[in-house]
Structure 1
Amino acid sequence: MKLLWQLAWRFRRSKRQSGFTSFISASSTLGIGLGCAVMILMLSVMNGFERELKDRLLAVLPHGDLMAVAPSGIEYWPEQVERLQAIRELDYVVPITRMTAMLQKGREMKAVELTGLDPSLGGSHRYRQLLDESQWQRFKGHPDRVLLGEGVMDELKLNPGDKVQVLLPRLGEDKFSAPKSVWLTVAGSLHIGGELDNHMGLVHLSLAAETAGIDSGAQGLEFGFADPYQAPRLMRRIGFDFPQHVYISDWTRTHGHLYQDIQLVRMVVYLALTLLIAVACFNIVSTLVMAVNEKRGEIAMLKTMGASHGMIIKVFMLQGLLNGLIGTLVGSAVGVLLALNISDLVLWLENLIQVRLLSGDIYFIDFLPSQLKWDDVGITMFIALALSTIATLYPAIKAARVAPAKVLTG
């Protein structure tokens, strides 16, 4: 085996090799390295977005909900909550009431979706982490307080302590009935990120149920699970077994496009960069074919000295594999370094050019996340080395078919 490596390395570093062959060889190594580095970097960025989606957005948003079909709300919801808490995968289940309303301050109006919840129940902790303790205590201790998203606060120019008028549609025989009006005091602002901050608000469950006319005290139930990606399956199971007609929903229906976009980009990255690595590997074919034509004499001499067909094939496969191995190792090392530091590099670039690449007003994060997974590194290296090995087969077999008698007497 040592002899095979020595021959492969000597053929690769031969001074008789033409400049064009050397250029094609270097370009194949560079292309493989570039493909590996970019693939590792892009997969790490997609992993980062998926992590932020789970740890930031899904840590606050409910993973699923059941909303009563009947206008009276969920019947005997305390008993239902107690029954559902026995589900092993469940993190929390809390009663809620949702209302679509208009907020008015002076001449400014803004449509929002108000969620009524009980701040003393366990599920409220996900919102508590978005506020400082003083704001949460002001909200918790006064039923006439409201928490609003930062976008709503900015658009209506509200500050904590301001009073705002809430206009709710009123159903009745006369379709022109005046909306129901409630005055609430702003307790603080919520910041989740993206469009959510522009249309969300929290009020007390008792106030929401009374205002919306929910006789049972809760319009529906919100669920959180230990693994949010299991929410679609678990919500269907819970909803089908529920003793009352309910509408079933989960986060994949409302915000699932974010997760689907991440998975789509991941698949496109795999496909596009695998093709890039494959194109770079095809340069190995060109390099080895030219190398075989240049070294027909050396191949003939090796055969006359007793080298077998298998030995010649292995020598040229190793010669081509050296290009793939060097490109894979260097490219993977560069990709790992970039993946570990891309967030800081992008932040430095943003400060340098004074441009925000990710705006917190549009996206749920305002920085470029990255999470390196060694499984991705291993898969990338395997793909590159496998394609490099396949690319060496044809030239190696062609080298083994060189006829010594014809070459040495020609």
Structure 2
Amino acid sequence: MSTGWRLSSQLAWRFRRSRGQSGFTSFISASSTLGIALGCCVMILLLSVMNGFERELKDRLLAVLPHGELTAVTPEGINDWQQQVQRFQADPNVRYVAPVTQMAAMLQSAGKMNAVQVTGIDTRFTPSTRIHLMTAPEQWQAFEQQPNGILLGRGIMKKLGVEVGQKVQLLMPQQGDSQHFRPPKSVWFDVVGAAGIGGELVDNHLALIHLSKASSILGVTSGAQGLEFGFADPFRAPFLMRELGMGFEQYVYISDWTRTHGHLYQDIKLVRAVVYLVLTLLIAVACFNIVSTLVMAVNEKRREIAMLKTMGARDSLIVSAFMLQGLFNGLIGTAFGVFSGLVLAWKLSALASGLESLTGITLLSGDIYFIDFLPSQIHLFDVLVTAAIALGLSSAATLYPAVKAARIEPAKVLGH
């Protein structure tokens, strides 16, 4: 360290620890440090929660839902879907491809009805990760062995009061002309198990039957109405699906998970942006207290500054001394805020669970959301950005008071 910087740091530390500093100035200085620490702590904590929700969205919800779908425009379905599956499986971006046939229907049992989204699947193409997350292994085996079996979402079974082993009636509307009314098609199924991941998004509307059964009901002659895709990176699904759909041999409808469940991901991104904006403003407000502290410190140290300049101190020495004095507040506040934010984010799930047990209040209900705990994941980039914002604003806040101190004229101060 050069002699100038060593002298500047010594002066900054002496000015900061000076006993002649008023109590009000000390209070403003402490409040600025506390404000910076609070802003850094809350920003790291909330960003970690957003990262946790994004991780759970990817590992839970997107591990069950298809990332994209190609659906045939014509009622006959996908032409030669077996060959198409083999072709798409060679793509390194594609994790799995499975044929599906989907329909909207009403499920009836004991006089109760519920709207469901029925999906016909081929068990040979269903990835094991989806099976383990959605249903119990023994129920999946029962579904494989029962051609007329159906897996229902847990929410549907609860609403209809249905249990495994009972029969349910599936009602599907049929198209008719203006002259004649065609009654809905009715098909009976055996409930072989419950499926779902928790929350209203899947459990209240999910129904799985065999692909051959679904295609037979809808009259899909090719055997599959569409293809569903899973990608190694689900967040690239919109781009990849558009690329696959545009190169497909027949006319298809292109869809991806951002169209059906993308509001969750967009909400996370929106909240992240709001957190950055609001807490950056909070840190900026705390840094304004640094300006107030240094301005009052300059007024209190006018005689000392004048004497230093009389003894030959340059303006750069005075500027750097007061900038370092303000940066001490920023460094202390940032260090304490980052440390406390990391500790709280690390233990957040356990703290939230303890708070629920203590108060009896459920923070996240598994019946509504796809998770029943408060997730948290620390990203080094967020920590570095938070620290950089705090230190950058702290540095900017010291400029005006430091320049004002350097402009003090010794003759006017010492003359009085």
TM-score class, shorter: over 0.9
| Cα distance in 1 between the residues matched to 2:124 and 2:68 | 20
Aligned twin of 1:338: 344
| Equivalent residue for 1:99, pick from 99, 103, 107 | 103
The structure 1 residue matched to 2:194, chosen from 189, 197, 222, is: 189
- CA distance 1:169–1:124, change in 2 (3 Å): farther
Q: Is the 8 A contact 1:73 1:217 kept in 2?
A: yes
Map 1:206-355 → 2, pairs under 5 A:
206-355=212-361
For 1:330, the aligned partner's letter is F
What is the rounded CA distance, in whole Å, between the counterparts of 1:215 and 1:284 in structure 2? 74
Structure 2 distance, partners of 1:113, 1:288, is 65
Establish whether residue 153 from structure 1 lines up as the match of residue 163 from structure 2.
no
1:193, distance to aligned residue in structure 2 (A): 2.3
Query: Is 1:27 matched with 2:44?
Result: no
The question of 1:167 aligning with 2:171 is answered: yes
The answer for the alignment partner of 2:75 in structure 1 is: 71
* Deviation for aligned residue 1:123: 3.6
Letter in 1 for 2:340: V
State yes or no: 1:137 paired with 2:153: no
Give the Å deviation of 1:409: 1.7
Q: Which amino acid aligns with 1:192?
A: I
Distance in 1, Cα, partners of 2:176 & 2:75 = 14
CA contact 2:152–2:206 (8 Å) conserved in 1: yes
Distance in 2 (CA, whole Å) between partners of 1:108 and 1:332 is: 54
Number of the residue aligned with 1:87:
91
Quick one: which amino acid aligns to residue 118 of structure 1? D
Query: Counterpart of 2:64 in 1: which secondary structure?
Result: coil
The list of structure 1 runs, each at least 4 consecutive aligned residues, that deviate by more than 3 angstroms after superposition, is 122-125, 172-175
Letter in 2 for 1:117: I
Stretch of structure 1 that moved more, 221-230 or 176-185: 176-185
User: 1:35-77: CA deviations, max 9, x gaps?
Assistant: 0000000100000000000011001100000111101111111
Cα distance, 1:182 vs. partner?
A: 1.2
Task: State the Cα deviation string for residues 258-293 of structure 1 (Å, max 9, x = none).
Answer: 100000000000000001101100110110000000
Q: In structure 2, how many angstroms separate the alpha carbons of the residues matched to 1:311 and 1:59?
A: 60
TM-score by length of 2: 0.97
Q: Is the 8 A contact 2:41 2:340 kept in 1?
A: yes
Alpha-carbon shift at residue 122 of structure 1 (Å): 4.2
- How far has the Cα of 1:125 moved from its partner? 4.4
Query: Which residue of structure 1 lines up, in the alignment, with residue 398 of structure 2?
Result: 392
Aligned CA RMSD, in angstroms, stands at 1.1
Shift of 1:175: 4.7
Q: Which runs of 5+ in 2 are unaligned?
A: none
Q: How far apart in 1 are the matches of 2:264 and 2:70?
A: 22
CA deviation after TM superposition for structure 1 residue 332, in Å: 0.7
